[in-house]
């Protein structure tokens, strides 16, 4: 073994260890980035389909790397093994200071700042020779600003599970920020339960079905692995929110996500997976616990639940390179596809890209991918009364693809696409650097509505229908004369993918760095800093175009009133009012230049 390589490996691994905190609870833990690298380079072959992993599987992965990896990988795995399995608990105290600078067109820039403090007791331990494992993160998140999203780039999820019901201590809002997991079974067959974030697929923190960065939920899962075959099944208890806004202040229980995936590795280089998800609520359906197709199971109850299915393909053409493609299908018009036409209600999320993890390089990982999400994907309607298909301002949505109002799949809104490049560097042993750049497009599908459709939204009661083009914008309207409601023709008959007149363009470029050193008595200290530049052209595209309650009809039903002006009740007036509403929405669009700065420290002992 080359002595210089060995020393560098030990130093880099030792100084990186504080980044690995709690592998059995947090699917975004840096351990999973290492697992991705080891898998792409062929050092390990079999890992559970769903993150996070039980300790028994973590131990097996590290044992395999210690046995088969090169000097760098072996030293990292050895030190991780010691950190995880010889120290069952840690106390961690972290603090971040965030500064945002936002400027709209010619207006002066606005400065805002936030202090974030998050102490925690966390750890992992196992019992009965790995048969039972437990992970826990018992923490709090305190910040002096209630709305954390003000310090996050657009379409970015918070990495803390702390969004509601805070206690006030002086100037700070203090939230619970806790997760836990319990796993029972063997390495190839186990059950797992707890409250934690969960991820699926090769794109860490960017999954289409289960996104590691989405809000946590209560999970019960089963996993079976046998050589090239694996099967995973998960039931997640999630939170329902307002069908109109997704505001977590309207939170309600009894919403459930079921997920299962079957994967087969045809060769050492190529594998294919088929998965299904279904979202439903206000009841418990035991059929979704069974290892049967959800497409069949939902037919027993009337096919009224929100079903999705997907295909995930992974191919390693050469050592260190992964090409992965994920196709998430929410709805599809089979009849038009048979006629070779895609101009219909094809609600699909798609992601493809390359991940490169070279050996013995200062660039440890490169990820280039492209994502698109067609209109109305992840969205779904909900009725207050199924018999009359009624929708009100208080309707809770138990079927859209959100938990606590946060998308469980990609953070990008429907009718968007994006190209992302992420590079991880370690130029010196104590310094880790991540550089990321994203170019995204998004348009509001409501801009494609006909005048009559748009007018129906303007005449509706306030707070009933969203027209902001987000996951809250769905394709059905209430109909008191039918139990099926009324569908919006434009949403069902046309695709309208990014063909609107006004497109919002987003450019994000960021750099994050972390410097870590170890002190005596196994105490680790990490300093970090980051900067993200964001340019948004036509910000406001993602706001309501046709807010309800804008139009009233006179008692004699002869006039419409809009903005205090009356118009005769005819088709010409409808077009005139819709044009005025559209013009007001267009006039609100602005260009924004945002800068986000962060600096923080974490002490772990």
The confidence score (pLDDT) of residue 72 equals 79
Residue 77 pLDDT grade (very low, low, confident, very high; cuts 50, 70, 90): confident
Buried-exposed string 209-225: b where 16+ CB fall within 10 A, e elsewhere: bbbbbbbbbebebbbbb
> Which H or E element spans position 476?
strand 476-477
Is 420 in the same domain as 507?
A: yes
CA–CA gap between residue 153 and residue 589 (Å, rounded):
18
The confidence score (pLDDT) of residue 430 equals 72
Taking residue 361's Cβ as centre, other Cβ atoms within 10 Å add up to 13
pLDDT of 436 over the 50 cut = yes
Is 331 in the same domain as 480?
A: yes
> Cis (ω within 30 of 0) for the bond into 52?
yes
Q: Which residues pair with 504 in a beta bridge?
A: 442
Is 329 in the same domain as 396?
A: yes
pLDDT of 19 over the 70 cut = no
Q: Which residue do the tokens 């987003």 mark?
A: 506
pLDDT of 5 over the 50 cut = no
The confidence score (pLDDT) of residue 84 equals 80
Is 167 in the same domain as 232?
A: yes
* Nearest of 158, 246, 197, 214 to residue 408 by alpha carbon: 214
The confidence score (pLDDT) of residue 428 equals 74
Taking residue 600's Cβ as centre, other Cβ atoms within 10 Å add up to 18
Is 284 in the same domain as 221?
A: yes
pLDDT of 37 over the 70 cut = yes
Number of structural domains found in the chain: 2
Residue numbers of the domain that contains 560? 551-584
Is 452 in the same domain as 435?
A: yes
Cβ atoms of 437 and 557 closer than 8 Å:
no
Is 376 in the same domain as 479?
A: yes
Residue 250 pLDDT grade (very low, low, confident, very high; cuts 50, 70, 90): confident
Torsion-angle region of residue 61: left (phi > 0), alpha (psi -120 to 50) or beta?
alpha
Is 308 in the same domain as 193?
A: yes
Mean pLDDT (whole number) for 235-239: 97
Mean pLDDT of the chain, nearest integer = 91
Mean pLDDT (whole number) for 324-334: 95
Question: In Å, how far from its chain's centre is CA 342?
Answer: 27
CA–CA gap between residue 82 and residue 86 (Å, rounded):
5
pLDDT in tens, 174-225: 999 999 999 999 999 999 999 999 999 999 999 999 999 999 999 999 999 9
Q: Which residue do the tokens 């079927």 mark?
A: 399
Poorest-pLDDT segment among 161-175, 220-234, 538-552: 161-175
Residues 6+ apart with CB under 8 A from 565: none
Is 569 in the same domain as 495?
A: no
Residue 299 pLDDT grade (very low, low, confident, very high; cuts 50, 70, 90): confident
Going by their DSSP bridges, the two strands 306-315 and 270-281 should be labelled as antiparallel
The confidence score (pLDDT) of residue 334 equals 87
SS3 call for 235: strand
The confidence score (pLDDT) of residue 65 equals 94
Residues 6+ apart with CB under 8 A from 288: 235, 256, 258, 278, 280, 294, 297
The confidence score (pLDDT) of residue 359 equals 85
Highest mean pLDDT: which range of 80-84, 388-392, 409-413, 422-426: 409-413
Domain containing 473 — which CATH number? 2.40.160.130
Is 372 in the same domain as 342?
A: yes
Is 488 in the same domain as 568?
A: no
**CA distance to 422, 424, 508, 510, per residue, from 435 (Å):** 6, 6, 11, 6
Is 578 in the same domain as 446?
A: no
CA–CA gap between residue 234 and residue 179 (Å, rounded):
17
pTM for the complete prediction?
A: 0.92
Poorest-pLDDT segment among 78-92, 226-240, 314-328, 551-565: 78-92
């Amino acid at each position: 073994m080359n002595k210089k390589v060995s020393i560098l490996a030990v130093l880099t691994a030792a100084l990186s260890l504080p980044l690995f905190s709690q592998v059995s609870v947090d699917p975004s833990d840096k351990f999973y980035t290492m697992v991705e690298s080891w898998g792409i380079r062929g050092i390990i072959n079999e890992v559970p389909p769903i993150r996070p992993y039980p300790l028994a599987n973590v131990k097996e992965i590290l044992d395999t790397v210690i046995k088969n990896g090169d000097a760098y990988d072996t030293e990292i795995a050895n030190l991780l093994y010691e950190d995880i399995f010889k120290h069952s608990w840690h106390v961690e105290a972290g603090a971040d200071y965030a500064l945002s600078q936002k400027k709209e067109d010619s207006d002066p820039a606005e400065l805002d700042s936030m202090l974030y403090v998050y102490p925690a007791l966390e750890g992992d331990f196992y019992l009965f020779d790995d048969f039972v494992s437990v992970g826990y993160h018992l923490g709090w998140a305190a910040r002096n600003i209630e709305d954390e999203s003000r310090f996050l780039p657009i379409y970015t999820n918070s990495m803390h599970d702390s969004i509601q019901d805070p206690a006030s201590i002086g100037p700070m809002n203090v939230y619970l920020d806790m997760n836990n997991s319990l796993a029972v079974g063997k390495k190839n067959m186990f059950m797992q339960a707890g409250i934690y974030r969960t991820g699926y697929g090769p794109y860490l923190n960017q999954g289409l079905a289960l996104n590691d960065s989405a809000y946590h939920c209560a999970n019960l899962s089963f996993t079976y692995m046998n050589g090239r075959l694996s099967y995973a099944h998960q039931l997640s208890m999630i939170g329902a929110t307002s069908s109109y806004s997704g505001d977590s202040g309207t939170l309600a229980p009894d919403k459930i996500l079921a997920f299962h995936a079957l994967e087969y590795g045809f060769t050492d280089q190529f594998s294919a997976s088929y998965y299904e998800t279904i979202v439903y609520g206000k009841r418990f359906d035991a059929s979704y616990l069974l290892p049967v197709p959800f497409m069949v199971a939902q037919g027993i109850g009337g096919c009224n639940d929100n079903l999705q299915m997907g295909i995930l393909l992974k191919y390693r053409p050469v050592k260190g390179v992964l090409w992965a493609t994920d196709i998430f299908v929410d709805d599809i018009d089979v009849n038009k596809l048979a006629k070779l036409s895609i101009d219909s209600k094809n609600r699909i999320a798609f992601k493809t890209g390359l991940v490169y993890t070279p050996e013995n390089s200062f660039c440890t990982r490169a990820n280039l991918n492209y994502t698109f999400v067609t209109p109305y994907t992840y969205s779904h309607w909900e009725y207050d009364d199924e018999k009359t298909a009624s929708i009100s301002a208080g309707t809770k949505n138990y079927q859209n693809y959100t938990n606590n109002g946060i998308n469980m799949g990609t953070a990008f809104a429907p009718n968007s696409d994006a190209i992302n490049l992420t590079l991880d560097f370690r130029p010196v042993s104590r310094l880790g650097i991540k550089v990321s750049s994203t170019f995204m497009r998004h348009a509001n599908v409501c801009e494609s509505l006909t005048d009559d459709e748009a007018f129906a939204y303007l005449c509706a009661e306030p707070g009933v229908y969203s027209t902001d083009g987000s996951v809250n914008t769905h394709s059905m309207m209430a109909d008191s004369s039918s139990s099926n409601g009324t569908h919006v023709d434009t949403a069902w008959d046309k695709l309208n993918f990014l063909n609107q007149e006004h497109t919002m363009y987003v450019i994000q470029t960021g750099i994050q760095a972390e410097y870590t050193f170890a002190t005596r008595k196994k105490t680790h200290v990490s300093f970090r800093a980051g900067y993200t530049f964001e340019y948004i052209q036509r910000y406001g595209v993602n706001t309501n175009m046709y807010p309800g309650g804008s139009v009233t009809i006179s008692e004699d039903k002869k006039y419409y009133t809009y903005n205090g002006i009356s118009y005769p009740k005819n088709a010409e007036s409808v077009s005139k009012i819709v044009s005025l509403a559209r013009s007001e929405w267009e006039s609100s669009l602005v260009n924004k230049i945002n800068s986000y700065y962060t600096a923080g420290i974490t002490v772990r002992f």
